[in-house]
Structure 1
Amino acid sequence: MSPTGRTDPPGLDPDRLRAHLERERPGLVRGPLVAELIEGGRSNLTYSVTDGTGRWVVRRPPLGHVLATAHDMRREHRVISALRPTAVPVPETVLLCEDESVLGSPFYVMEFVEGTPYRTAAQLTAIGPERTRRVVLGLADTLVRLHAVDPQAAGLADFGRPDGFLERQLRRWGKQLEASRNRELPGIDALHSALAGALPVSPAPAVVHGDFRLDNVLVGDDDSVRAVLDWEMSTLGDPLTDLGLLVMYSEQEPVPGSPISTTRNAPGHPDPAEIVERYAAGSGRDVSALPWYTAFAYFKLAVILEGIHYRYTLGQTVGAGFDRIGQLVPLFIDNGLATLRKG
């Protein structure tokens, strides 16, 4: 609790933040700041802060993090700032602070954007089938706009290494799997090998979000995408990895007790084929190899879920639902193999 009796969220001291903002952006803040943690983040911590008049968002790495490269505030701040003048809807950045004496880690501040993150089929059902269809197809249109950005013109030509991108990605996630392997997972090695043996030829590189899905955007009252959030996995690479992940989330059936959000059962939700067709028409890209990218998305999520399950078995997770994560992994493996066979 702060000296004023205010309860502050872990990882953010509003008084220290205000003092820093007053030094770097005089006149921005007009009074004491109050902060609250925004729930729903997958990795980096996100806070809403207000002085009673203005409102901003602060992003910082998780408490006690050790992998600085996985929580690089400079990269997130850079890509959002670079995309702001483009057709991609992103918040306006306010400042980047790499002085760890302020909040205990690097962080950045950006504007607060009003909008709804649709995370469940029930949320979409409440707005009706016509609006649901508009929201989901707008997501595909936003991905087209992102992948149309010229990295050179945006100042992002050195934001990643597109050459050998898919091979490196597959190798990286294979290593992640080995780091958390403590049980038999039938089919996981076959899926990894099949993906490695059928690497597609990537199209021209683009700015890749890395985790593009409905609950990582804010949707306005007019059903348009107001802001794309959570850029921590962004890079330059194969744009179809974003589409494959979006398709994977769009076709995933809801599983009772699963922490994986899925909205496909909402009335009016376009099916994956229509989402792909919308993207292909808007981008002009050849999407014939998409089954590989969707299968890779299943593999990647299986590895992520297995890592969570592994940490659960070691007693390193806190919260409800982690005991069921391990049961989901075989489902994603099977779906990945089935997708490759269909392709």
Structure 2
Amino acid sequence: MTTEMTQASTKQRNRTAFDNQAAAAKATSVEFDPATIERFLLAQKDINGVNGIRDLAKPSGAGASNGILFFTADLDNGSQTTTSELVLRYETDTPLIKQKRFDDEFQTIIAVNNAGLPAPVARWHDFTGDFFGRPSYITNRVHGQCPPSSIYAEGILQDADPATRKSMMLAVADYHGRLHAANIGPDQVPHLTRRGTGPTAIERELSWWFKEASLASPTPDKMEFLRRAHDRLIAVQPDPYTARLVHGDAQFANCMFDGPQVSAVLDWELSFLGHNESDLALLVLFADALNPVDEPVDGVPSEQEFIAAYEACAGRPIAAWEFFQAFNLVKVTTAMVFGAATMPGADELFTHYGALLTDAIDRIPR
């Protein structure tokens, strides 16, 4: 088999694996009735009455780590009744991410709201599951469209003309540059200081992912591969510099678009205190990894175009680019371990991304 044929086969698996994973997660999601939602809302201090819960619906597309339910509520705040379109996010019966904390994600969204960056507005929470029987929280619903995980196969990026597609993809790099410039640090997201262990932000984040892999009980050879990659990255990490809020799962599928603009970035459960080059490197990785070899999609920004857009909004040049490319590949490779139960082809993708990871570590300047 030629290298080009191998690349095409791997990219096809990439395009289907993430969407299949989301579909599998939704197949095991639970049902909620309007009465349960109403009881929860009536327990909130800023709600005097609930005059109706309707339009319950589960979205299609992305969303492998949370259960998601859309609904509309007529809420009485004591002076008037308003209609609110809302989203309930809740833990599934078989959580994909074992260390996920709904309270952390909720508090992170509040920090992003306070910084003025487009994200769902956090409203209420049930972290202990007293009402919904599982950790959950509610946000305002943001209108727009999200690409599927297989961004070039269907959906808004596939449907866009090349110039619009490029503009939309660069708008995501802009967002992550703005997130860097917002300088959301430990004072704004103190809950993230307990994520992982180690003396540096990079070591803490790598330790979190290594633990997540171990919780999935992988085969010894996979765990040993990840341990070696973990140790090699720590040995060549850049000198410490200011750690800021990083989204942590900067896929295009986690972006809501209103026309060509980003109206919100979703799914903050993998956020950490670290370096925003990591988000940018993941965007570049998926922009390439999902693009078919046999019929490349026009209008996909180059690596340098992504970097230039990010830097313009971040207000400073990127740092340690080769390191963060490898840093993201160890995460993607690890995800093939803990996502294996719901991701067809995960073993082959582990081998593929593991090879890319080894090469990327070798390219890091010493």
Match of 2:14 in 1: none
- State the partner residue of 1:57: 87
Residue matched to 1:165: 201
TM-score of the superposed pair, with normalisation by structure 1: 0.81
On the 8 A contact 1:100/1:106 being kept in 2, the answer is yes
RMSD: 3.0
1:227 corresponds, among 253, 260, 264, to: 264
The aligned counterpart of 1:328 is: 349
Is the 2:254–2:267 Cα contact (8 Å) retained in structure 1?
yes
Q: 1:5 aligns to what?
A: none
Secondary structure of the 2:125 match is strand
Q: Deviations over 1:233-277 (max 9, x none)?
A: 113222222222222222214579xxxxxxx94321102221122
Q: 2:105 is matched with which residue: 62, 76, 83? A: 76
Tell me the equivalent position of 2:314. 283
Q: Which moved more, 1:94-103 or 1:159-168?
A: 159-168
Q: 1:209, CA displacement in angstroms? A: 1.0
Q: 1:32 aligned to 2:61?
A: no
8 A contact 1:117–1:217 mirrored in 2: yes
The amino acid that maps onto 2:204 is: R
Give the TM-score normalised by structure 2: 0.76
- Tell me the CA shift for residue 196 of structure 1: 2.7
Q: CA deviation at 1:23?
A: 3.8
Q: Displacement of 1:116 after TM fit?
A: 1.0
48, 53, 64: which one pairs with 1:42?
64
Q: Is the 8 A contact 1:146 1:207 kept in 2?
A: yes
Name the counterpart of 2:163: 130
Residue 210 of structure 2 is aligned to residue 174 of structure 1: yes
Secondary structure of the residue aligned to 1:49 is: strand
In structure 1, the gaps of 5 or more residues are 1-8, 257-263
Determine which of 191, 198, 222 is the counterpart of 2:236. Answer: 198
Q: What secondary structure sits across from 1:168 in the alignment?
A: helix
Matches within 5 A, 1:285-300: 285-300=316-331
Structure 1 SS opposite 2:89: strand
Tell whether the 8 Å contact from 2:97 to 2:338 is kept in structure 1 after alignment.
Answer: no
User: Separation in 2 of the partners of 1:90 and 1:270?
Assistant: 24
1:147-182 deviation per Cα after TM superposition (whole angstroms, max 9, x unaligned): 122336973356426951211222333344455332
Q: Percent identity?
A: 24
Shift of 1:121: 0.9
The 1:28/1:282 distance shift into structure 2, 3 A limit, reads: farther
Kindly tell me: are residues 76 and 170 of structure 1, through their superposed partners in 2, closer, same or farther at Cα, counting changes over 3 Å?
closer
**CA distance, structure 1, for counterparts of residue 242 and residue 135 of structure 2:** 33
Helix, strand or coil: the match of 2:142? Answer: coil
For residues 32 and 107 of structure 2, what CA distance do their matches in structure 1 show?
22
Deviation at 1:111, TM superposition (A): 0.9
Q: Do structure 1's residue 301 and structure 2's residue 337 form an aligned pair?
A: no
Counterpart of 1:216 in structure 2 is 254
Cα deviations by residue, 1:205-238 (Å, 9 ceiling, x for unpaired): 11111111211010002x1110111011113222
Per chain length, whose mean CA-contact separation is higher, i.e. which structure has more relative contact order (CA < 8 Å, sep 6+)? 2
Q: Deviation of residue 102 (structure 1)?
A: 1.0
Is the CA contact (8 Å cut-off) linking 2:177 and 2:313 kept in structure 1? Answer: yes
Give the partner amino acid of 1:55. E
Does residue 96 of the first structure (1) align with residue 125 of the second (2)? yes
Name structure 2 gaps, 5 residues minimum.
Answer: 1-28, 75-82
1:121–1:265: 8 Å Cα contact kept in structure 2? no
8 Å contact from structure 1 (residues 84, 92) kept in 2: yes
Distance 2:271 2:112 in 1: 12
Whether the 8 Å contact between 1:161 and 1:237 is mirrored in structure 2 is: no
Question: Which residue identity lines up with residue 181 of structure 1 in the other structure?
Answer: P
Q: Distance in 2 between matches of 1:66 and 1:145?
A: 29
CA, structure 1 residues 201+214, in 2 after alignment: closer, same or farther (shift >3 Å)?
A: same
